[in-house]
Amino acid sequence: MIREINFDGLIGPSHNYAALSLGNLASARHGGATSRPRAAALQGIAKMRFVMGLGLTQGFLLPLDRSNVGFLRQMGFVGTDEQVIARAAAEDPRLFATAASASSMWTANAATVSPAADTEDGRCHISAANLSRMAHRSIEHPETHAQLALAFADPAFAVHEALPAAFGDEGAANFMRLCERHDAPGLEIFVFGEEGGRFPARQNRRASEAIARRHGVSNALFVAQSQTAIDAGAFHNDVVAVANGNVLFAHEHAFADAAGLKADIARRMPDAIYVEVPASAVSLEDSIKSYLFNSQLLTLPDGSMALVLPKEAEETPSVKAWLAALVAGNGPIRAAHFVDVRESMQNGGGPACLRLRVVADPARVDARFLLDEANADRLERLVERWWPEAIGPADMTNADLWRQVKAARKALLSELELSL
């Protein structure tokens, strides 16, 4: 049966705070702090368990091979893998941090997904994102594509390689979809940024248009993100807006032309509901600090909608008050749940960053990428045994750490009987 599946990124053993993402304020604030990869991964698994407990289907994607020795060889380092890692860490720590990043954990950036109901050929189309605007992320897409091609190898899917790097594409973090039901035809909304502000715009309009053409999507809108929001730290649209079913939940300053977007939606999908949070109630600063909108907006089995938010939202007074009024009202969002993903939040990614939404029949997905309680138990045991407890700045040049990181991923692949 066709349904929405949330594929979360399993947080990798190299999770560290290197502050590589310009415009991501949380990442910048925690640059140089000590990370806790084991706790981070366990927090992510706990969130997946929570979503499963709501009665929803849950999948997961695996951390990429880090540090990326192939990238370091391209940058001129030679020798055995261990020699390459040691030389790069000693000679160019910033470059080495680029190769060691665990940022693939944020699978909202892995790809853009158009469900079969939206496409000309009736297949679910998935395009890996090139992430070309940030060096540490731009090296992800070959491995990401290989993993997506394996997980979605069934003919019901069409998995595409990334667009050319000249056209920055950040995947589902700048994409929303409105629909009456997940398996019904929807309105796809591609959000792009304009250049020239304080921080770089990540999503290029031509990239969004190319994805829509490639996927065979005709019912699409192309919408400019507010430069005010980008400059305030909303480096992706999903920091200030999220959609699910017939509901679009957004900050007042999320879009450059919110009135135009509302009119377009009303014309294309008259039953859509636009839930707007006014800046007078919740400032952009509080929205971004708390990741109010970087939450998972989910349709539960009984047809109601719920938000899964980070604990930081509950701890921000303006956000907590607004959410209390929201769920007490007569609107479509009836519940707000708070989860602890602090390790991810401190690096700039909330609950929505950690997941990629795929509308499909789970029976068509490689079962090794689907989660149940037994698989969650297996993942937790692996993480507790293999993941480093902590990584601080001084640890980045420690050869033993990188041997441990490599061994952890090898153990994970062996446990799941995967070769990537």
Tokens of 75: 């940058």
* 156 touches 124 (CB < 8 A): yes
136 is catalytic: no
314: amino acid identity, one letter: E
d(CA 190, CA 112): 10
d(CA 190, CA 83): 43
179: amino acid identity, one letter: C
384 is catalytic: no
170 is catalytic: yes
**Residue 14: strand, helix, or coil:** coil
* 285 touches 314 (CB < 8 A): no
d(CA 177, CA 118): 10
Query: Tokens 């368990």 correspond to what residue?
Result: 49
User: What sign results for the dihedral spanned by CA atoms 242, 248, 251, 254?
Assistant: positive
* 163 touches 190 (CB < 8 A): no
Catalytic residue among 15, 30, 236, 253: 236
Beta bridge partners, 242, equal: 249
Q: How many CB atoms lie within 10 A of CB 104?
A: 27
Catalytic residue among 143, 170, 252, 312: 170
Q: Which residues are catalytic?
A: 170, 236, 353
